[in-house]
Chain A
Amino acid sequence: MNELSRRKFLKGGLAGGAMVSLLGKSSKSEAAPSFGGYPDSMGVLVDLTRCVGCRSCEAACNKEQGLPAPDLPFDDMSVLEEKRRTSEGAYTVVNKYEIPGKDHPLYRKMQCNHCNEPACLTSCFVNAYRKTPEGAVMYDPTVCVGCRTCMIACPFYVPAYSYSSVLNPVIKKCIFCYETRLKFGRPPACVEACPKEVLTFGKRTNLLKIAHDRIRNYPDKYVDQVYGEKEVGGTAWMYLSSAPFEEVGFDTHLGNDPIINYVKEFLTVVPMVLTIWPALFAGFHLLATRKDVQNKENSAGK
């Protein structure tokens, strides 16, 4: 009888403990929500249905950022025949996607999406990145060691590296024209150059309203998704499309968690190992060598 009641007590204790740990977990996740981005940060809404692939944005970016002249001029549309990515010489590129069942292709502009919680920033061990309150993700080349972890971490494959430079290779990516424009509240060069009003510059919160309004008003025209609203914690650059996003080259499997959330599980282990290991292994040592100590004491006693 005694045995049984003890077992009951243990069961109850275990259940209670499990409850506490569950509750503890939920209250903790409320206490430390993930960073949703600066409230007044700016962004750009890209409406793929309006883009005609004229590459004016590429040309404007090239001029604004003082990038080297490309091999083929910007009015040469043959470059659209292959899929390109951002590089050290081009911070933004437009790719063409033939959509099955549609009579015209879709064009997708890509550049740094300026995440709310950038993976490049959180992975950098010299703190070379910062997210400005205006929304730009900035990079400081003067402290960069060149480990290229940010390129590993970026889920959008955006940062490029000037490998050919011997003495000062650095990361090259779109900086939202921060130094020359965004800082003063002006839209980036590509937005201003677009002849088709594909790109809308504004407060990120307002852009989201505009985007959802467009979807609501033209449900036949748009897919019911704003790419970048939630992806990897939300991005400053967001997209509307008439075709499913995976058909226009977007990765639709990134999930809504910021990349740092995947790393946090390890980061929480660090302080535990640092504090528990010394005592644990010193204890093991005392246990493992207790016989030696006893032998010594015995022989000393004799």
Chain B
Amino acid sequence: MNRFIAQGKTPLAAHVSTDGMTMWSVKEKLLLGLTPKEYVAQAIRNPLNWLFAVIFIFGGAITVGRFIFGLSYVTHSSYDYPWGLFLGWGLFVMVPLSASGFMLGTTVEVFGRHDFKPIERLALLNGLLGYLFAVIFLQVDLGQPWRLIYPMFVSLGPAAVLFLVAWHVATYLSVQVAELLPAFAEWVNWPGLKKTVKSMILGLTISGIILSTLHQGALGALFTYAPGKVHPLWISAPFQWFHFFCSSIFAGLCMLIVVSTLCKKFMAWRCDDNFLNNLDRLTLGLAKGSALALITYLVIKIIGVAHDGDWGYLASGWGQWFMLEMFIGVILPIILFTIAIKNNMVGLARFTAFITVLGIALNRLNTALITFNWKLYQEIPHWREVVIVITIYSLFIVTYRFILYRLPILYTWKK
């Protein structure tokens, strides 16, 4: 794309062409104002696309195999580890990293911090796609995915935590679609739609907070069904929901820092000055929020250990693993974020956000897989399971990029 810009082309960002003569058609909008030939040329030039092609051919075949030959083809069919990487990664890691949507929605719409506006839509998109793909991961994992709507309409078990997760994720997905409709409305030129959504944005945002508080917490509460199976350091029945909810706050904010950094670095042509010039300042703002949430999380984690009287476990091998997770994922980020904020070091804040994302992923995998069944044996996921996770995550990235290229997320639509 940079090459075309050098040749004097501008990426499409308005309904009419730069000379003001022609209205762009949807096809031209989809092709970013390039001719089909030019579009294919830039796609082929991108080495990342070649990597994706390999992943989709190989991983796609295995993913299809899962639906033809069943779960036993791609997993160990374990009775002791009924949840593997599909949920361990796809649900328990993806969902907290997608908390950015409700965090920035709250910041901008509820708290009135309109200075965060340049990054709000990116946060919303990150949330929407994260949830969407969490559902796709779930569909790969469910034994009978065609029964996904059963808990909604066919046979209801309203006292179960998963019932709440199902309903909330479904409702929240539609809330997020609604929150992003203005961007879509600008792109297809339906001003009426944008106006309608704008009028109910406060209600949407507050319902987003409610739904997020509950389902982020509920993902933690799911493990309170197995108080004896997860290692005591990773489970604390009264606090589990709050541990998961609180950590989702900085997980979402840090993921947003990571994604915005990638956009700035690899997609600068698509960002406008409003985004690029504000990003450093906003990154530090997000870092500040993350640091506050991290400190809260650290305190409530310590309270959790104290409440359950788990100090003795700290000396064991599991305890050292726990302290390593806490150090890399919580304490180190608090220190580094503080230094970064005090000294205006945006690069350090970005690096720290990256570590924090890894830390939260480690925490969720520890809870769902690594310390699960700590009294039994350890199970390494089947290689096909890993391949499918990589394939679907790649699909997530490609979809993400497809939307960022087109909709006014990183740039402002010109009237």
Q: Which residues of A contact B (CB under 8 A)?
A: 85-87, 119, 122-128, 140, 143-149, 151-153, 155, 157, 159-161, 163-166, 168-170, 251, 253-255, 259, 262-263, 265-267, 269-270, 273-274, 277-278, 281-282, 284-285, 288-289, 292
Contact = CB atoms under 8 A, between A and B. Distances in A.
- Interface size class on chain B is 35 or more
B151 A125 contact: yes
Contacts of B217: 266, 269
Given A125-B162, A149-B225, 12 more contacts: A125-B157, A126-B147, A127-B156, A143-B154, A144-B144, A153-B226, A161-B82, A262-B237, A278-B210, A284-B111, A285-B111, A292-B112
20 contacts: A122-B225, A124-B157, A125-B157, A146-B145, A148-B83, A149-B160, A152-B82, A157-B80, A161-B77, A163-B75, A163-B143, A166-B68, A262-B237, A263-B224, A263-B237, A265-B224, A267-B161, A270-B214, A282-B206, A292-B112
Nearest to A270: B214
Nearest to B77: A163
Of the candidates A147, A281, A288, the one having the most CB atoms from chain B within 10 angstroms of its own CB is A147
Interface in B41-85: 67-72, 75, 77, 79-80, 82-83
B157 A285 contact: no
A266 B145 CA distance: 27
- For the complex of A and B, list the 6 residue pairs with the smallest distance between their C-beta atoms, beginning with the closest: A146-B143, A266-B221, A148-B82, A163-B77, A127-B157, A143-B155
B156 A153 contact: no
B144 A267 contact: no
B209 interface: yes
A128 B159 contact: no
Contacts of A151: 79, 82
Main secondary structure of the interface of B (DSSP, over half): helix
A169 B143 contact: yes
Contacts of A259: 225, 227
B356 interface: no
Interface string B166-206: 10000000000000000000000000000000000010001
Given A144-B144, A161-B79, A152 B156 contact: no
B155 to A, nearest CB: 4
Interface in B209-244: 209-210, 213-214, 217-218, 220-222, 224-229, 237-238, 240-241
Contacts of A86: 79
B110 interface: yes
Contacts of B156: 126-127
Of the candidates A146, A163, A266, the one having the most CB atoms from chain B within 10 angstroms of its own CB is A266
Of the candidates B79, B109, B164, B228, the one having the most CB atoms from chain A within 10 angstroms of its own CB is B79
Contacts of A262: 224-225, 227, 237
B160 A165 contact: no
Contacts of B144: 144-146, 168-169
A166 B218 contact: no
B163 interface: yes
Contacts of B113: 288
Contacts of B166: 125
B81 to A, nearest CB: 9
Contacts of B163: 125
Contacts of A149: 82, 160, 162, 222, 225
A273 B213 contact: yes
Contact of A273 (B154, B210, B220): B210
A254 to B, nearest CB: 6
Contacts of A170: 143
A277 B109 CA distance: 15
Contacts of A123: 160-162, 225
A148 B82 CA distance: 6
Nearest to A172: B79
Interface string B77-114: 10110110000000000000000000000100111110
A285 B209 CA distance: 13
A277 B238 CA distance: 20
B83 A152 contact: yes
A194 to B, nearest CB: 25
Contact of B161 (A146, A164, A263, A274): A263
B150 interface: yes
B80 A85 contact: yes
B348 interface: no
Given A127-B156, A277-B209, A284-B111, A166 B70 contact: yes
B210 A274 contact: yes
Contacts of B227: 255, 259, 262
Contacts of B68: 166
